[in-house]
């Protein structure tokens, strides 16, 4: 039975450097053995300055709702987490920066746990 993870009502101000996240959830059981071990709900959080506001890796069951993100490039990053529900979030990015509200990454789009291949993934609006 998967564990329940709730990240709610937090304020995060992170570094503006590359590969930084306000909230980063990785289901290592799903990555290593194919079994979902985390049900995550990330809601009503505020995030500023990081490159990515919320990142989910290998998440089978996840809900990301009602968060406020003022990140440098990505609002929500989904790596091998196609079933995650992302809705009712607000995104604010610096002007003149190529940004993405929701970036979906598949296996092979990442070089390792922290570095994403340049230009990888599919960008979509919420």
pLDDT digits (tens, 9 = 90+) for 71-101: 999 999 999 998 899 999 999 999 998 899 9
Query: What is the rounded distance in angstroms from the CA atom of residue 107 to the CA atom of residue 122?
Result: 13
Lookup: tokens for 7: 């990240």
pTM of the model: 0.91
> Residue 45 CA to chain centroid, in angstroms?
13
pLDDT digits (tens, 9 = 90+) for 106-125: 888 887 766 788 788 999 98
Q: Which residues of 45-72 are buried (b: 16+ CB within 10 A; e: fewer)?
A: bbbbbbbbbbbbbbbbbbbbeebbbbbb
- Which of these, 82, 21, 7, lies nearest to 50 by C-alpha position? 21
């Amino acid at each position: 039975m998967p564990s329940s993870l709730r990240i709610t009502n937090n304020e995060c101000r992170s570094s503006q450097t590359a590969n930084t996240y306000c909230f980063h959830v990785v289901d290592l059981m799903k990555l290593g053995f194919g079994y979902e071990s985390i049900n995550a709900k990330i809601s009503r959080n505020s995030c500023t300055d990081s490159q990515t506001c919320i990142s989910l890796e290998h998440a089978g069951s996840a809900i990301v709702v009602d968060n406020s993100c003022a990140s440098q490039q990505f609002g929500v990053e989904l790596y091998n987490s196609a079933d995650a529900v992302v809705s009712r979030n607000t995104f604010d990015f610096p002007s003149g920066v190529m940004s993405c509200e929701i970036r979906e990454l598949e296996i092979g789009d990442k070089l390792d746990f922290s570095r994403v291949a340049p230009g990888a993934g599919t960008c979509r609006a919420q």
